[in-house]
Amino acid sequence: MVFQPYNRNALIKWYDENAANYDDLSYKQDQASYGGDAYRIVLVKKLLDGLGIKDVLDVGCGTGSPMLALLEGGIDARGFDLSPGMITEAKSKLKKAGHSEALARVGDILDMNSLGDLGKRQYQAVVANGVLPYIEDVDTAHKNLASMVKPGGYYISAYSNELFDMTTFNRFTMRFHERNFIDPLDMPGDAKDALKAKLRGMVTNPDLPASIPEGGRDEIYVRGHNPLTIPDELKRFGLSVEDMVFYKFHAFAPLLRGSTDAERARFIELSRTYEVNRARDWRGYFLASTFIIVAKKAG
């Protein structure tokens, strides 16, 4: 498996092809399926309620499950997604629940013209979950996202946690060290290559996993963000991070979870003890694969 370059068409294709079973991939929870995005819905709803938010734009609304949770909770929500297949699913859900299908539409956060009337107003909160990990041009995305937040309003977004790669002891660990510790060094390329070769001897599985069928990593571009540096990154767009929570916890390093069904079930059970109620535990910086920031726009 190689790390995929950014390809907008491949991204749309993957989500279109998986739209019909996306909820099972993302939200189903049993002994074999973690369903981490189900915790995200709970966390975001709690964050919005705590802030008294009643007006939300859901960027990357997917199949509409998060939007429905907001609507049923009394929040005026509408959204868009890059994938026509996902929006078809969202419209179907909205109609079945008695809401207007017009609340969901196809749109691209990198192209404000594609958003129509949704991009011509501002909201108490702009929520972007499962969006930034799949975008290469994050500066344009952050600029456009911030532009739709009312002064004094909030930007709430989930990011893939780059620090988690340090605890996987595999090729993701290799990539983290190379990008953040070796490549920035002021030294000749051959010297850097020598360090990388030594690093391979220290990492237990430098070429694994060979494949990650869940979540499309085998086929589409996915990037991580550093929870320690994201506040400075967002300041450039007038957004000040006020809170951070973690989800998709791993109770311990994934390579330790074992290979039997019983061992995997125990790993999932222990990992879930961190979700929601321990979302601000410091271990999340290293053991949670995803984090959510709450940033306020200057008034």
What the chain holds in terms of domains, given with CATH numbers, is: 8-161+214-297 (3.40.50.150), 171-208 (no CATH)
β-bridge mates for residue 243, sequence order: 294
pLDDT tens track for 192-228? 999 999 999 999 899 888 877 666 777 899 999 999 9
Mean pLDDT of the chain: 94
State residue 6's pLDDT score: 93
Closest C-alpha among 92, 133, 87 to residue 107: 87
Q: pLDDT tens across 127-140, in order?
A: 999 899 999 999 99
Cβ atoms of residues 274 and 288 within 8 Å = yes
Return the number of other C-beta atoms located less than 10 Å from residue 204's C-beta. 11
Q: Say how far apart CA 243 and CA 264 lie, in whole Å.
A: 32
Q: pLDDT tens digits for 55-96?
A: 999 999 999 999 999 999 999 999 999 999 999 999 999 999
Beta partners for 128?
59, 157
pLDDT, position 187:
96
Backbone angles phi, psi at 288, to 5 degrees: -105, 135
Cα–Cα distance measured from residue 132 to residue 144, given in angstroms and rounded to the nearest whole number: 12
**For 243-272, how does the pLDDT look when each residue is reduced to its tens digit (9 = 90+)?**
999 999 999 999 898 889 899 999 999 999
Residue 221: how many other CB atoms lie within 10 Å: 18
Q: How large a percentage of the chain has pLDDT more than 90?
A: 88
